[in-house]
């Protein structure tokens, strides 16, 4: 009953908040996997109907989109080139299924990923129109995601690495952890998301109460990552923090440098403390095990690229989406290399163009005059999360399941376009106000 009540409280709270502030719908999207796994591990209904959360989060995002239509009318007026390239890449990938070695297997992957593509890559970016929207989304994510991390950590039934699915507490299988356990990588990704939002919110202009909440979220979210044995999430969280800190805290004088050093020290201290909250499987963190896993993934990617490069046509147009399942038996976990092999040089060009435009948007928005500390903080979090998901996509992802990377890229493009249009509008207003006024000589 406790699991059902907490699940419903979080879902209903996000739905109501999304109606009042549509950008909160992003929080539901970012907490999708965490909410899904908490429901599966704590309630019989969600254990049996595992797709329920997917559709529930879709409805929450749709509520936010409906409210935006009611308030602003046009939703597609500020779609940046990033969005066109993302949709073009997925359209081409879908068409490439036709010439894949096993079209049926490839199409099955699209059926599985379809709900995530629509909710995360299509609906979610529409909910953020400016940096204030992003702040609302991140606050709500920290609250809902932090609650889910705490519930999983302190009240969840853990197996080897993930939460044990409800009703299967008596069954354990070390050889197949996904049979009776939830995906540890998905839950730790939520932990990394909450960690980055919290760690990058410790400075100004956030109020003392919010900073105290962020301090509480940091060890809890890191403990979830450590308990799940997710090495990539821990490293990607550090990289996202490293990229986001200079944006959130500008180094202008000695005081700002001291503040930055203090925040880094606090985060490291809380990270060390989080290791005492959970039991850590040291074998997962050994250099030998990590090296073996990396070598295995690069071996699959190398085999896939080798097959693609044997023929000029497949080198240019690709083997076809999800061909890895036929060529090497599984997807290679490295999205960029998979795109080069399966979508060819044509698709890879579009893929890397999306990444380039996203990083360029960060720089352009950051250089805009009049960027307040609050909006700069939101940009830092968004940039950190984009880097976080990008690294994960090159460690455990595929084109179909790296949708958060593309969602963040589209949001960054929308923010750049919004900032550009607002600046152009302000220049026109100033110009109109300073035009000289002449008397009507014909009167």
**DSSP letters of 163-183?**
BBPTT-TT---TT-HHHHB--
CA dihedral 400, 406, 407, 409 (to 10 degrees): 180
Q: What is the mean pLDDT of residues 296-306?
A: 89
pLDDT in tens, 214-266: 999 999 999 999 998 888 899 999 999 999 998 888 777 677 788 888 888 99
- CA–CA separation, 22 vs 317, rounded Å? 40
Residues 182-212 pLDDT 10s: 888 899 999 999 999 999 998 778 888 999 9
pLDDT at 286: 67
pLDDT tens-digit series, residues 109-138: 999 999 899 999 999 999 998 888 999 999
Residue 284's CB: how many other CB atoms inside 10 A? 17
Q: How far apart are CA 329 and CA 86, in angstroms?
A: 27
Is the pLDDT confidence value at 176 over 70?
no
DSSP symbols for 54-72: HHHHHHHHHHHHHHHHHHH
- Cβ pair 354, 93 in contact under 8 A: no
């Amino acid at each position: 009953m406790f699991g059902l009540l907490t699940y419903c409280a979080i879902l209903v709270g996000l739905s109501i908040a999304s109606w009042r502030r549509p950008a909160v719908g992003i929080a539901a999207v970012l907490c999708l996997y965490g909410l899904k796994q908490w429901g599966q591990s704590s309630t019989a209904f969600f254990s049996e109907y595992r797709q329920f959360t997917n559709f529930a989060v879709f409805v929450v995002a749709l509520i936010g989109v409906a409210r935006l239509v009611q308030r602003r009318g046009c939703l597609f007026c500020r779609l940046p080139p990033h969005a066109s390239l993302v949709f073009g890449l997925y359209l081409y990938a879908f068409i490439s299924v036709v010439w894949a070695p096993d079209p049926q297997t490839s199409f099955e992957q699209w059926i599985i990923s379809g709900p995530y593509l629509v909710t995360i890559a299509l609906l979610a970016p529409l909910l953020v129109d400016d940096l204030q929207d992003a702040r609302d989304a991140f606050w709500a994510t920290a609250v809902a995601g932090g609650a889910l991390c705490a519930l999983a950590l302190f009240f969840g039934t853990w197996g080897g690495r993930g939460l044990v699915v409800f009703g299967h507490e008596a069954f354990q299988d070390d050889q197949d952890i996904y049979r009776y356990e939830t995906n540890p990588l998905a839950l730790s990704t939520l932990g990394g998301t909450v960690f980055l939002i919290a760690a990058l919110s410790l400075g100004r202009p956030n109020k003392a109460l919010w900073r105290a909440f962020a301090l509480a979220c940091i060890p809890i979210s890191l403990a979830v990552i450590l308990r799940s044995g997710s090495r990539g999430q821990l490293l990607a969280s550090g990289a996202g923090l490293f990229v986001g800190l200079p944006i959130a805290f500008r180094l202008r004088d000695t005081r700002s440098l001291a503040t930055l050093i203090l925040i880094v020290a606090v985060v490291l201290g809380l990270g060390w403390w989080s290791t005492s909250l959970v039991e850590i499987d040291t074998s997962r963190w050994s250099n030998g095990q990590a090296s073996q896993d990396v070598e295995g993934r690069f071996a699959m990617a190398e085999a896939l690229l080798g097959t693609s490069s044997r023929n000029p046509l497949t080198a240019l147009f690709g083997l076809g989406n999800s061909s890895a399942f036929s060529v090497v038996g599984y997807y290679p976990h490295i999205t960029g290399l998979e795109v080069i092999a399966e979508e060819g040089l044509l698709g890879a060009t579009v893929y890397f163009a999306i990444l380039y435009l996203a990083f360029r948007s960060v720089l352009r928005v950051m250089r805009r005059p009049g960027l307040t500390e609050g909006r700069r903080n939101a940009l830092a979090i968004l940039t950190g999360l984009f880097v976080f998901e990008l690294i994960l996509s090159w460690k455990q992802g595929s084109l179909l399941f790296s949708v958060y990377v593309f969602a963040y890229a589209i949001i960054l493009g929308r923010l750049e376009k919004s900032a550009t249009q607002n600046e152009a509008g302000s220049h026109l207003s100033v110009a109109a106000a300073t035009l000289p006024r002449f008397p009507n000589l014909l009167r």
